[in-house]
Structure 1
Amino acid sequence: MKRSLISVFMSAVAVTAFGWGQKGHDTTAYIAENHLTPTTKAAVDSILEGKSMVYWANWLDNASHTKPYAYTKTWHYKNVDEGERYEEARANPAGDAVTAIKAQIETLANPSTPLEDSQLAMKILVHVMGDLHQPLHMGHATDLGGNRTKVKYFNRDNNLHAVWDSSIPESAHKWSYSEWQQQIDRAPAEVEATIISGTVDDWAKETINICDEVYKYFGSRDNISYNEVADWTPTVETQFLNGGLRLAHVLNLIFDPTYRSTANSPILK
């Protein structure tokens, strides 16, 4: 009995520690893999020495809790409080999701970057691009991105951040990450072009707008149940897809000169 209680407790801790949950990060990475150009795929495979982006998709959640990578703890999120404009939000001196993504892009785009540094940058970029699209990772500082907002999920005590990390996605579809990709990665070319347009800051603002709606909607709910899962499953699907397509877009810009010449993207400028 004691061992069972410990297992339950450790499972709860693990869930609240992950951004988007393992399934979300795996799905984002796998969608991205399916949109790499052959030139980019060869470069990514070389940097990761044959392992896939999915293999490393959740690595940073664990690594950030170790001494060598503790400096990345704040890189999983960006806080913008209610009523605060994105441009005026106080910068975290330790960095945030947006500055982390931009830094990894710069590292990977530099042809002089040593392989070891490129490998680290790739692992971080794959993960944090997923975090950028989890609404509560763009949440308010005052409640630690929803971690202090207590809710009930199917009548069990939880918090809003953890519900969005894993509970809603897992309740939405009982799919593997490859099934998620097969079912939601079907955007027409013109829709995909709209999704990947803009900058990292534009994508962050988009997620923050969604986060504002999440706070408004869930703030009036005593218990999150079937109706709430049904209402927000399309948002989860959209954010998984957007994160994956944008990750592929960034990597294609970095590693494929032909793609870069036709994309006319401001990201590397």
Structure 2
Amino acid sequence: MKRITVLFLLISTAGIHFAYGWGDKGHSIIAAIADRHLTPKARKSLQSVLTHPLVYYASWMDNIRKNPLYSETASWHYANVDEGESYETMPKNPDGDVYTQTVMIIERLKERNLDDSLRTLYTKFLIHMVGDMHCPMHTGRLTDLGGNRFSVKWFGSPTNLHTVWDEKLLESAHRWSYTEWSENIDVADEKERVAIVAGIPQAWMNQCVDICKKIYLNAEENSDYSYEYIHENIEIVETQLLRAGYRLAALLNEIYQ
């Protein structure tokens, strides 16, 4: 297990990401969907672990990124996969990535004798990291820092591919609050939800890697994206948000059964 320390870690420039996953609204949508699908028992158990609803902690892990107490978690938001590589063949970040650390946290949370303070901390991490694990560009190439150095324009304004997928698509498709988003896309029936939460986190991770590869395949540097790009890709964003919400709920229901 990795301990959270007060020491600053030396992080190479190649490993630094400059945009956060989904933005506040995306993470809030995921947490809100998950909250809608908690079992009564899990909800009651979580009330003794967290002092607020899930949405309250949705972006907490982004907000503490610069705090030296949590410097060890800087690389826990993403897992780079270069062109021609898979997650399995890609050299791993020695400080951990969104997949390895999510699996570690799930395993620790299943321990009955886990310290209460760690249980609270890891639950807050899990709420955020399941979201990041479903954010396509968080499995982007190391060579361009997950799309942060892949320059494009959005309605004529300079930005990058990472930001387009973290925030621009979501904010431009609908002027909805996170509650309106969760209510409008959480429409799968029970059979569909069961299919979505089936499998293991490694399969969910590879699903995201496949989506990211297609994004790169259809992207061209310095392109000016607007309405057509929204029309072509917003369904992918909605699907990943929904998958993350259902899967987060399933994990919490299992952990706090």
User: Could you tell me the TM-score, scaled by structure 2's length?
Assistant: 0.91
Secondary structure (helix, strand or coil) at the match of 1:23 reads helix
Instruction: Give the superposition deviation at 1:221.
Output: 6.7
Alignment of 1:25-104 (within 5 A): 25-49=27-51, 51-104=52-105
Instruction: Give the superposition deviation at 1:113.
Output: 0.8
Contact 2:152 2:159 in 1 (8 A): yes
The alignment's C-alpha RMSD in Å is: 1.1
Question: C-alpha deviations, 1:119-169, integer Å up to 9, x for none?
Answer: 110111000100011100011111100001000110110011011111110
Q: Provide the C-alpha distance between the structure 2 equivalents of 1:193 and 1:238, rounded to a whole number of angstroms.
A: 15
Pick which of 83-92 and 130-139 moved more.
83-92
Alignment of 1:1-269 (within 5 A): 17-49=19-51, 51-219=52-220, 222-256=223-257
Q: Which amino acid aligns with 2:157?
A: R
Instruction: Give the superposition deviation at 1:220.
Output: 6.5
Q: Which amino acid aligns with 1:22?
A: D
Size of the aligned set, in residue pairs, is: 240
- Relative to total residues, which structure has the larger helix share, 1 or 2? 1
Structure 1, unmatched stretches of 5+, are 1-15, 257-269
User: Could you tell me the TM-score, scaled by structure 1's length?
Assistant: 0.87
CA change 1:221–1:148 in 2 (3 A) is closer
Aligned-pair identity (%): 42
Q: Provide the C-alpha distance between the structure 1 equivalents of 2:83 and 2:19, rounded to a whole number of angstroms.
A: 24
Contact 1:17 1:61 in 2 (8 A): no
Contact 1:64 1:71 in 2 (8 A): no
